[in-house]
Structure 1
Amino acid sequence: MKKVAVIGGGLGGLSAAITLANAGMDVTVFEKNKDLGGKMRSIDLGTHHFDFGPNTITMRPVFQQVLAQTGVDPDDYLNFIPLRVHMKNVSSKGEVLYFSNDQQYMIEQIKKFSLSDAENYPAFITEISRIYFLAQRHFLQTTFTSWRDYMKPSLLSALVKVRPFETLNQFIRKYFQHPFIVQCFLRYATYIGSSPYIMPATFAMIAYLELVDGVDYVEGGTSKIAQAFTTRAKQLGVKFHVGCEVTKVKYGKTQIHSIIDQYGITHTVDAVFMNSDRLSDLFELDQVKKDIQPSSSAFVILLGLNKRIEGLHHHNVYFPENYELEFDALFSDHYVEDPTIYICNSSYTDRSISPSGDNLLILVNAPPTKKGTLQIDSHQYRQKIIIQLKELGLDIEDAIVEGKVITPEYLEKEFYAFRGALYGAASNSVKSAFFRPSNRHAKLKNLYFVGGTVHPGGGSPLVTLGGMNVAKKYIAENGQEI
């Protein structure tokens, strides 16, 4: 029976562990923190429950497939609730545009701002659907374990068909002219921590996931996905060492043969799956290039209120007047003076998780960290955001009964994220977007990588898909054990 160690219990590590265990492997997960699920964890402040990690859930079948492949009914583990209207977008002038995967509803919404933009919406949907299905076939379902995988003629042919040489901004403006409409669609760049004014238009496919497939909420909070994966993994015999950091790996010329945990215990292995930031290079196995441009990070404020705020939906975005200035600041390593503010108020959909008042997760894009430099006074920046919300008509300060701030420095320390970046390298070039670090080490052939900083990329569905696909690659190469 193959012994496989999974280092890191995020969604990529958990989906890999389930897939490997289901194939009869002897799997052990090592997680340095007390919680499993990586950034998909929960935080409770008094009676208010918060999902720290991903707040919009797309690609529901990916999460269900991880469970279904083991012969169980995913509905016994997770209850997905579709959100017909999934985002309230608010302009600096107070204009409101609601997002939905109902195409006719979207056309009627856009028509309030621009008749020509509304007429172009079906063509926009057709094109992002084309890009998505090409990407799904040639990129998302593929595991890259050597440079040869990147050189396949079919892959290169698909690459030139997904608009890699124009920016997302250029692409969006081919269909829409109204400044606020453009602003709303450009925001999809932030889903992978990049700039819409630089990144390839290929990532317009992210809009497909929300505007065609739709957005879900998981009953009880999105952290239930990580909990369900953990439950199923344990049922399959996966062993967990939580609060146990792996401090060293021992290897020869081409193979890792053992790992050592923080207690000095040596564990022999046939393979290692690393579910950590590839750029952090925890064991100094590579010469990691530190001149890589990191993705953006996040400044997060968790607030428990003693009342419900009228007008807030489940997902809300408040845009600044000048959107481009925000990305100029972020990728010059500066905090934004007038940032876009995202608010998740999941108790709008599920009152049970915050019965005594709204649970607001307020997130603004932040620059990556600078070693040894305090970039911002977190208390002052928190107050700045709350004052900005008041100016936008959301006066919440007197209703706050619980609070917590999470900074890029916290993300760097807690998750070993390179410079606190959320997605590893920014996708601000063709190379960084399409040629992400591969899923297997170049020299250590039994060392595999999963997670948001390697192929197929960041975001909870892709991380989950990547973990499952890399595990299947290992199983195919080493044989089913059962």
Structure 2
Amino acid sequence: MKQIAIVGAGLAGLAASIKLASEGYKVDVYEKNGYAGGKMMPVSLGTYHFDFGPNTMTMPEVFDSVFEEAGVDPRNYFDWIKIERHTRNIDHDGSSFMMSTDPQDMVDQFEKLDSYAAKNYQTYLEEVDRLYRLSKSSFFPRMFLSWKDYLSPSLFQSMLKVRPLEKMNHFHERYFKHPLILKAFNRYATYIGSSPFLSPATFAMIGYLEMVQGVYYVKGGNTSLARGMEKLASELGVTIHLETPVKTVHVSNGRAEMIETVDGKVQKIKEVIINGDLLEVYPSLVKESERPSFRDTRIQSLSPSISAFVIMVGLSSRLDLVHHQVYFSEDYQKEFKELFNGIWPEDPTVYISNSSHSDPDVSPDGDNLFILVNAPPLSNHHEMPEEAYKERIYDKLEKHGLPIRKLKVVEKVIGPSQIKDRFNAYRGALYGISSNTLRNSFLRPSNRSKDIKNVYFAGGSTHPGGGSPMVVISGNNVANHIISKHAKKDSRVSYN
């Protein structure tokens, strides 16, 4: 039986383990934390449950397919709740509108704010539909194993069609004029840890996922999805070693021979999948001399994505909040300039998830507010005292009529330093490398080591990118490649 080791039990690692185990592989997953799911981390504070992340779920078919391809019904493991009117957007002046999967609902709201947007919204939907379908067919399923994979004529033609040279903000200005509407749609760049004023318009396809396919939530908390994947993996024979950090991947003659955990145990392996932040985990596991194509100097030259400052707070009662709401800064472009210059924004945009609005059972005694603001990646400059920044956020929310301090029962703060330590995230970045340049958007690190034949990478810091669906796709892509590779070897052996 072929032995596979997966380092990290994030969604990519779990997806890969399920696929491989269903095809008869012996799979061991090693996870440093005491739970499976990676950044999809459950947090309980008394009777208040929080999903650390992600809070907005899209592309449910990607997650369902993990279960269906293993021959089981995903509804036996978790249930989706679709949120039709999903995100309330509030500007600094109090103006607001609600995002909805109903096009007429959107047009009706736009007619009050922006007649230009009302007139052009259907054209916008058609264009983001096109961007999404091109990306889905040309980029998502591919394994980019070497530079030669980028020379495919069909791939080159597809790349030219997804607006790679246009910036996201410029793209959205084609369809919207009102500042708040522009901010709301430009916010999609933060889903990949980037700036809408620098990242390609290609990522505007996220608008198709939210405004056409829809926004979803997993009943019982989004972390129920990770628990369902963990349960299925175990049922298929995957051994998941929690609280078992891997110390070293031992390499000989360009092949990984075994892994060693921090307690000194070793395991011989055929293949290794590293499901973690490529910039942080790979160099911590493999000596620099064994990875000449990915030296430390190269890692240090890459621009990390944004990080996050999170407050999870349980309230004694319920406020007039929907599942998702965003309170925008007055100058959105200035905010991103500050973030990517290592400065904590003076006027941060504040996102609040209140999952108890859709699922009261996760927080029976009052709202469970997951409050997130974008933060710069860690540096030696411009560090912000967490307590002071928390108070700044509470001050802003009070101006919008949310008396958090008065109603607070429980509270937990997680900043970039804790993100770095808990998730092995390079400089505390949430999405690995930013997509602020053409190269980093379309030439992300390969899913396989260029120097070690049997070491693979899955997760948000490699192809096809950040976000839970993309992470799962990366795990599936890697697993399918390994299965195909072994099938070809076995057929040659059988033939000979």
Same fold (TM over 0.5): yes
Per-residue CA shift, 1:375-400, capped at 9, x if unaligned? 11101111111011101111121110
* Residues 7, 273 of structure 1: 8 Å contact kept: yes
**Alpha-carbon distance in 2 for matches of 1:392, 1:452:** 34
Taking the aligned partners of 2:271 and 2:167, their CA distance within structure 1 comes to: 40
Kindly provide the CA deviation profile for residues 72-111 of structure 1, in whole angstroms up to 9, marking residues without a partner as x: 1111111101001110101111111100111111111211
Q: Aligned match of 1:282 in 269, 281, 284?
A: 284
1:187-198 counterparts in 2 under 5 A? Answer: 187-198=187-198
Q: Deviations over 1:325-371 (max 9, x none)?
A: 10010000010100100000000000000000000000000000025
* TM-fit CA distance, 1:154: 1.0
- The aligned residue for residue 407 of structure 2 is 399
> For residues 478 and 463 of structure 1, what CA distance do their matches in structure 2 show?
23
User: CA separation in 2, counterparts of 1:478 and 1:109?
Assistant: 55
1:440 to 433, 440, 448: 448
The C-alpha deviation readout for 1:440-471, integer Å capped at 9, x for no partner, is: 00121110100000000000111011101110
Matched with 2:354 is 345
1:156 aligns with 2:166: no
The amino acid across from 1:18 in the alignment is: I
Tell me the equivalent position of 2:460: 452
Is structure 2 residue 472 aligned with structure 1 residue 464? yes
Distance 1:18 1:81 in 2: 24
Q: Which amino acid aligns with 1:430?
A: L
User: Contact between 1:253 and 1:443, CA under 8 Å: does it hold in 2?
Assistant: no
1:369 paired residue among 354, 374, 378: 378
The secondary structure found in structure 2 opposite 1:365 is strand
Please give the secondary structure, in 2, of the residue aligned with 1:29. strand
Q: CA deviation at 1:374?
A: 7.5
Structure 1: distance between partners of 2:319 and 2:397:
12
| C-alpha contact (below 8 Å) 1:86/1:314 kept by paired residues | yes
The question of whether the paired residues in 1 share the 8 Å contact of 2:342 and 2:382 is answered with: no
Query: Any residues of structure 2 matched to 1:293-304 within 5 Å, and which?
Result: 293-304=303-314
Alpha-carbon separation, structure 2, partners of 1:100 and 1:447: 43
Structure 2 match to 1:115: 115
Check conservation: 1:456, 1:462, Cα contact below 8 A: yes
**2:75 is equivalent to residue 65 of structure 1:** no
Separation in structure 2 between the aligned mates of residue 102 and residue 307 of structure 1, nearest angstrom: 31
Q: Please point out which of 409, 412, 423 is paired with 2:417.
A: 409
**After superposition, what is the alpha-carbon deviation per residue over 1:243-266, rounded to whole angstroms, capped at 9, x for unaligned?**
011101111122101011111111
Shift of 1:160: 0.8
Which amino acid in the other structure matches residue 465 of structure 1? I
Report the AA paired with residue 232 of structure 2.
R
Distance 2:257 2:404 in 1: 55
| Matched-pair contact (CA < 8 Å) for 1:271–1:447 | yes
Structure 1 stretches lacking a partner, 5+ long: none
Aligned partner of 1:185 in structure 2 is 185
**How far apart in 2 are the matches of 1:169 and 1:348?**
31
The yes-or-no answer on 1:47 pairing with 2:47 is: yes
Residue number in structure 2 paired with 1:320: 329
Q: What percentage of aligned pairs have identical amino acids?
A: 45
Judge conservation of contact 2:314–2:410 (CA < 8 Å) in 1: yes
Superposition RMSD in Å? 1.1
Match for residue 270 of structure 2?
270
Higher mean C-alpha deviation, range 46-55 or range 391-400: 391-400
CA offsets, 1:418-438, max 9 Å, x none?
Answer: 100011111001100000000
Match of 1:387 among 382, 395, 403: 395
Give distance in 2, aligned partners of 1:100 and 1:465. Answer: 26
Partner of 1:360: 369
Alignment of 1:305 onto 2:307: no
Bigger mean CA deviation after superposition, 122-131 or 388-397:
388-397
Note if 1:238 corresponds to 2:238. yes
Deviations 1:38-85 (A, max 9, x none): 000110001100001100000000000001111111111111010011
Match of 1:127 in 2: 127
Question: Cα distance, 1:479 vs. partner?
Answer: 2.2
Unaligned runs of 5+ in 2: 491-496
Q: 3-state SS of the aligned residue for 1:140?
A: coil
- Pick the structure with more helix per residue: 2
Aligned equivalents of 1:116, 1:242: Cα separation in 2: 53
Q: Is the 8 A contact 2:249 2:260 kept in 1?
A: yes
- Cα distance between partner residues in 2 of 1:332 and 1:417: 19
Whole-Å Cα distance in 2 between the matches of residues 101 and 250 of structure 1? 50
Partner Cα distance (1:46, 1:200) in 2: 43
